């Protein structure tokens, strides 16, 4: 009986370890397009969940682990898209500007799956798209997203100065 209990405990610990390691090497957060204002003091990151379950964003840091001035999650649909702004108040309703603490990224909402649905013509206004809007008093070069998935703390680091595809400069 004692051997059986030890074996079961060991198997459970190994299984839990494999589960945690799997998500460290295959993070569930999906990242898509990146946009910034001309001053680069406002950044939008298309984010989503590539897996089952939900993702809770716990903390956002910019540059060298500084707290941003303001952070909101835009909760829209693929047809509405996102807005790059330095004033959230004028777009709160239209682009679903929501406090980070109130949002959990639903399963299978990665930007790549949203793009695929748009290409296939199967996207609907019921599909959710998430855009992480970050404001800072200085130019934003890096955004660190700390989040949890099934209680496992994970982190994504995005270097915004390397992605200028959606920059609003003329």
The answer to whether position 20 is within a domain reads: no
Going by C-beta distance under 8 Å and a sequence separation of 6 or more, which residues neighbour residue 44?
34, 35, 36, 74, 82, 83, 84, 131, 132, 133, 134, 166
> Which residue range forms the structural domain that includes residue 134?
29-162
Digit-coded pLDDT (tens) for 112-148: 999 899 899 899 999 999 999 999 999 999 999 999 9
Digit-coded pLDDT (tens) for 81-124: 899 998 888 888 889 999 999 999 999 999 999 989 989 989 99
The answer to whether position 48 is within a domain reads: yes
Would you tell me how many other CB atoms lie within 10 Å of the CB of residue 82?
22
Per-residue confidence (pLDDT) for residue 110, from 0 to 100: 93
Digit-coded pLDDT (tens) for 6-49: 777 867 777 777 766 776 677 899 999 899 998 899 999 999 99
Residue 17 DSSP SS3: helix
> pTM score, two decimals?
0.84
The answer to whether position 168 is within a domain reads: no
The answer to whether position 21 is within a domain reads: no
Tally of CA atoms within 13 A in the half-sphere of 159 that contains its CB: 2
Scanning 26-156, the segments in alpha helix (DSSP H) are 111-120
Total domain count, the chain? 1
The answer to whether position 34 is within a domain reads: yes
The answer to whether position 167 is within a domain reads: no
Looking at the predicted structure, is the pLDDT value of residue 164 above 70? no
């Amino acid at each position: 009986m004692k051997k059986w209990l030890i074996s079961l405990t060991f198997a459970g610990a190994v299984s839990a370890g494999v589960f945690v390691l799997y998500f460290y090497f295959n993070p569930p957060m999906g990242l898509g397009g990146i946009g910034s204002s001309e001053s680069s003091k406002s950044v939008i990151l298309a984010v989503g969940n590539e897996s089952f379950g939900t993702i809770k964003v716990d903390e956002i840091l910019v540059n060298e682990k500084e707290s941003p001035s303001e952070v909101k999650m835009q909760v829209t649909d693929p047809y509405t898209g996102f807005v790059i702004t330095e004033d959230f108040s004028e777009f709160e309703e239209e682009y679903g500007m929501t406090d980070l603490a109130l949002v959990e990224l639903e399963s299978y909402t990665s930007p790549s799956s949203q793009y695929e649905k748009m290409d296939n013509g199967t996207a609907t206004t019921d599909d959710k798209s998430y855009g992480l809007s970050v404001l800072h008093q200085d130019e934003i070069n890096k955004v660190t997203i700390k989040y949890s998935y099934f209680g496992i703390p994970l982190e994504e680091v995005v270097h915004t100065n390397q992605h200028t595809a959606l920059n609003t400069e003329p």
